[in-house]
């Protein structure tokens, strides 16, 4: 049997979704860029500085939608009213801009579909064959639909996503609470859980929650930043872990 390449003490694996299991981090980044560049262009005219990959990695990736809007705008010295979660996508509020981004995201997903990383799907199978428990821990409110689209709903023993987090009042990444809730749902201590994340905010959550092992998944050449934010190891594909002892 192939071994999952984790410390012997690990009993459960907590996987981020976008960018770890599915190729959706790039789709999210494109939807954020379209929304913010449109907003900044209207507000600041031709002089505006476009939303960059670095902005995405530092201020947005991995965070709940409204937190991503607020954190990025703060980095540009812009503060908007919060508004409410059902604000229309045309409202110039934190929630309105977040909903606009979600509309753009869903349009892209609808048009292009969703891909899972083959190495991640195989690794999920290896981990489960080895008797480890699995959870998906995502800030996304679309997590369930995306799991269904790639037909892997039944590969996880627990799911903590944007919808569950809101129901339970859990703060999102970089706070560790969503990962801690998944560990609790699986009946394992944080020290017996490995966290798999591609975002700097996810690394911070892994470190803050004192999880047993934190795997940084580097899809965009940010290995150094992932290590600086607390990764115990960095891989470009989960398949690299298989057979490691
Ligand atoms: Mg991610």
Residue 217 falls within a domain, yes or no? yes
Residue 204 is among the residues annotated as catalytic for this protein: no
Distance (Å, whole) CA 22 – CA 72: 24
Residue 112 is among the residues annotated as catalytic for this protein: no
Distance (Å, whole) CA 134 – CA 186: 8
Q: Tokens for 35?
A: 């929304």
b/e sequence 219-238, b meaning 16+ C-beta within 10 Å: ebebeebbeebbbbbbbebb
pLDDT confidence of residue 92: 96
Distance 22 CA to ligand 1 centre (A): 9
Distance 46 CA to ligand 1 centre (A): 31
Going by C-beta distance under 8 Å and a sequence separation of 6 or more, which residues neighbour residue 77? none
Distance 202 CA to ligand 1 centre (A): 7
Could you tell me the pTM of the whole model?
Answer: 0.90
Distance 19 CA to ligand 1 centre (A): 5
Is the same domain home to 120 and 212?
yes
Distance 152 CA to ligand 1 centre (A): 17
Distance (Å, whole) CA 196 – CA 134: 11
Distance (Å, whole) CA 40 – CA 49: 8
Residue 4 falls within a domain, yes or no? no
Q: What is the mean pLDDT of each run of 10 residues along the chain (245 residues)?
A: 87 96 92 97 92 96 95 97 95 97 93 93 96 96 91 96 96 97 98 97 96 96 95 97 81
Domain boundary among 112, 141, 174: 112
Decide if 66 contacts 102 (C-beta within 8 A): no
When divided into structural domains, the chain yields a total of 2
Is the same domain home to 213 and 144?
yes
Q: Which of 18, 67, 177, 204 is catalytic?
A: 18
For 162, the domain range is 12-23+115-243
Is the same domain home to 143 and 157?
yes
pLDDT confidence of residue 25: 86
pLDDT confidence of residue 26: 87
* Number of Cβ atoms within 10 Å of the Cβ of 80: 16
Is the same domain home to 138 and 225?
yes
Find the CATH number of the domain harbouring 165.
Answer: 3.40.50.1000
Nearest to 134 by CA among 241, 242, 12: 12
pLDDT confidence of residue 110: 87
Find the CATH number of the domain harbouring 36.
Answer: 1.10.150
Residue 68 falls within a domain, yes or no? yes
Residue 1 falls within a domain, yes or no? no
Q: Which of 16, 67, 218, 232 is catalytic?
A: 16
């Amino acid at each position: 049997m192939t071994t999952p390449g984790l410390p012997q003490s690990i009993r459960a694996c907590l996987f981020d979704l976008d960018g770890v299991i599915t190729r959706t981090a790039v789709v999210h980044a494109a939807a954020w860029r379209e929304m913010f560049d449109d907003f900044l262009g209207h507000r600041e005219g031709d002089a505006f500085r476009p939303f960059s990959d670095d902005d995405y990695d530092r201020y947005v990736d991995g965070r709940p939608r409204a937190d991503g809007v607020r954190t990025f705008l703060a980095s540009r010295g812009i503060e908007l009213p919060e508004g409410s979660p059902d604000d229309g996508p045309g409202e110039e509020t934190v929630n309105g801009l977040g909903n606009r981004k979600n509309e753009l995201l869903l349009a892209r997903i609808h048009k292009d579909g969703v891909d899972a990383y083959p190495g991640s799907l195989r690794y999920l199978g290896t981990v489960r064959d080895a008797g480890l428990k699995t959870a998906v821990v995502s800030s996304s409110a679309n997590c369930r639909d995306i799991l269904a689209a790639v037909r892997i709903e039944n590969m996880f023993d627990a799911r903590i996503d944007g919808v569950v987090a809101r129901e339970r009042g859990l703060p999102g990444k970089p706070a560790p609470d969503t990962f801690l809730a998944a560990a609790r749902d699986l009946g394992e201590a944080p020290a017996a859980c490995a966290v798999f994340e591609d975002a700097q905010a996810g690394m911070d959550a892994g470190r803050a929650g004192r999880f047993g092992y934190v795997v940084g998944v580097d899809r965009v050449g940010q290995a150094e930043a992932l290590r600086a934010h607390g990764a115990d190891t960095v891989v470009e594909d989960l398949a690299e872990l298989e057979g490691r002892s």
